[in-house]
Amino acid sequence: MIRPDEFARRRNRLCEEAGDHAMVLLAAAPQVLRNGDSHYPYRQDSDFLYLTGFHEPEAVLVMLPGREQGEKLLFCRPRDPERERWDGPRLGLEAAVEQLGMDDAFPIEDLDDILPGLMEGCERIYHLVGKDPFLDQRIIGWRNRLRAEHKGQKGPGELVSLEHLLHEQRLIKSRDEIRCMQKAAKISAAAMRRAMQACRPGMNEAEISAELVHEYQRHGCPPAYLPIVAGGDNALILHYIDNNQPLPDDGLLLIDAGCEYQGYAADISRTFPVAGRFTGPQRELYELVLAAQDAAIDQVRPGHAFEAYHDAAVRTLTEGLRDLGLLSGALDQLIEDQSYRRFYMHKTGHWLGLDVHDVGDYRIDEQSRVLEKNMVVTVEPGLYIGHEADIPAHWRGIGIRIEDDIRVTAGEPENMTQAVPRSADDIEAIMRP
């Protein structure tokens, strides 16, 4: 649980960095219609959630560092018993001030009237330029109104992207954020174990998908992204989400799935034999991916370059592919030529947080950035062997990915998702009836 004082600290830090004579402006995510009168499940915008803890749509946070009449203002939906009968309770203005720690709150309908006046004396507006073109236009419109209606006011001359300041802050996780992520990891791990235990020949991908979602939802957690439940060849489609095909009796099942807890995501992949026992070739490839993951996780330490763990995975995979006869040539040359990309075409991981692919720069001044304590990354090497004629038949159609969520600590890397069996033997053990 993220406490109100942590949200206040985040806002204060951003205000300090933006400086006086600045306006910082962020909007809630819109509700999106699915069809007719039905909406997609509402998910608050991660940046807005990070600064407010507020889960309602139709809201705008405006921060004016140094403003004497109040710095942190929220525009949101006022209480409305008639509407609340249909759509559920709203926090309303008074509670927005009290519970969210705002200095003042205004009805969202008044945004157009109030905003131009708030821009008086501002030199810069920080917002997420380009994220919402409609909001970008409105900001220009408010500035034009200020110029037209308040003589002598030029209005803010600079529109600055908020991205860098805010996303640098989000990249390093606080103690309570890590607790939320551990909770998401725990529930996601339980779901993955449940899927392993439920899996039997004759089942359909959809039945396994239902096991995952059941486990998330009974803990009140939505999936953090559309799960991938890919039997056999479907594992070769990196973004497979149909999840509706019969499982192959003697094939593998690749699952990539996680839930979110209080907005914080987990992201786990496991690959296991539908029948509970790896065949010889499946096990050989599986153990190679596992070795690559071990080598990569060992690089997730403070002071190491972000790219080091990808490089470690690539080296292990390339060497193994060469030993298995799937690649031939000198190891360094194979790496240099990226020959491994035929079988391993994605990166080994990404930041993890409120977004599954979380925010933050991976490179600074054209160099890979250095890992710091309390960054959280995924480590997810894989191998995807197609059906081309030059590949020995026993390797064809095998797709494997193993993915865990790793926190950078001052000491050993912390595997937040280690509760899911990872070795071939442990997977076979948990699948035994």
Catalytic residue check, 401 = yes
Nearer to ligand GLY, 118 or 254 (CB): 254
Q: Smallest distance, Å, CB 212 to Mn ion?
A: 13
267 near ligand GLY, judged by CB under 6 A: yes
380 belongs to the binding site for ligand GLY (CB under 6 A): yes
Q: Is 6 helix (H, G, I), strand (E, B) or coil?
A: helix
Cα 246 from Cα 230, distance rounded (Å):
10
Smallest separation, CB 403 to Mn ion (Å)? 5
CB of 214 vs ligand GLY, minimal distance in Å: 19
Q: Which is nearer to Mn ion, 102 or 266 (CB)?
A: 266
Nearest by Cα to 383 from 294, 287, 258: 287
Q: 360 Cβ partners below 8 Å, 6+ apart?
A: 167, 168, 170, 171, 351, 375
Chain residues 13-42 in contact with Mn ion, contact rule CB under 5 A = none
> Under a CB-based contact definition with an 8 Å cutoff, are residues 382 and 402 in contact?
yes
# chain residues binding ligand GLY, by CB under 6 A: 7
Q: Is 240 helix (H, G, I), strand (E, B) or coil?
A: coil
Shortest distance, CB of residue 267 to ligand GLY, whole angstroms? 5
Q: Which residues contact 328 (CB under 8 A, 6 or more apart)?
A: 322
Alpha carbons 93 and 54: distance in angstroms, whole number: 12
**304 classed as catalytic:** no
233, 397 in Cβ contact below 8 A?
A: yes
Among 177, 260, 267, 319, binds Mn ion (CB under 5 A): 267
Tell me how many degrees the CA angle 340-224-7 measures, rounded to the nearest 5: 115
CA distance 359 to 47: 10
Q: Which stretch binds Mn ion (CB under 5 A): 35-43, 112-120, 299-307, 398-406?
A: 398-406
CB of 355 to ligand GLY, least distance (A): 11
238 — phi, psi (to 5°)? -60, -35
Nearest CB to ligand GLY, comparing residues 97 and 379: 379
What are the angstrom distances between the C-alpha of 323 and each of 68, 145, 310, 327, 369?
69, 69, 20, 8, 32
Q: Name which of ligand GLY, Mn ion, none residue 361 binds, using a CB cut-off of 5 to 8 Å depending on partner kind.
A: none
Annotated catalytic residue 346? yes
Is 426 among the catalytic positions?
no
Helix boundaries (H) for 119-174: 133-149, 163-171
What character string, x for contact with ligand GLY (CB under 6 A) and - otherwise, covers 352-371? ----x---------------
Q: Which of residues 220-259 bind Mn ion (CB under 5 A)?
A: 256
| Contact characters 319-348, ligand GLY, x per CB under 6 A | ------------------------------
Q: Which of 71, 163, 256, 405 binds ligand GLY (CB under 6 A)?
A: 256
Site map (CB under 6 A) of ligand GLY, residues 37-56, x = contact = --------------------
Which residues contact residue 264 at a Cβ distance below 8 angstroms, ignoring those fewer than 6 apart? 177, 180, 181, 183, 184, 353, 354
Out of 346, 369, 396, 422, pick the active-site residue: 346
To the nearest whole angstrom, how small is the minimum distance from the Cβ of residue 269 to ligand GLY? 6
Task: Give buried/exposed letters for 178-214 (b at 16+ CB in 10 A, else e).
Answer: bbbbbbbbbbbbbbbbebbeebeeebebebbbebbbe
CA distance 346 to 187: 26
Choose from ligand GLY, Mn ion, none: what does 225 bind? Cβ within 5-8 Å by kind. ligand GLY
DSSP helix/strand/coil, 195: helix
Tell me if residue 256 is catalytic: yes
> How far apart are CB 76 and ligand GLY at their closest, in Å?
32
Query: Could you give phi then psi for residue 11, rounded to 5 degrees?
Result: -65, -40
Asked if 225 interacts with ligand GLY (CB under 6 A), we say: yes
Catalytic residue among 5, 37, 68, 390: 37
Instruction: Please identify, using beta-carbon distances, which residue of 52 and 293 lies nearer to Mn ion.
Output: 293
Q: Which residues bind ligand GLY (CB under 6 A)?
A: 225, 256, 267, 350, 356, 380, 403
Q: Give the footprint of Mn ion on this chain (CB under 5 A).
A: 256, 267, 378, 403
> What are the residue numbers of the active site?
37, 239, 256, 267, 346, 350, 357, 380, 384, 401, 403
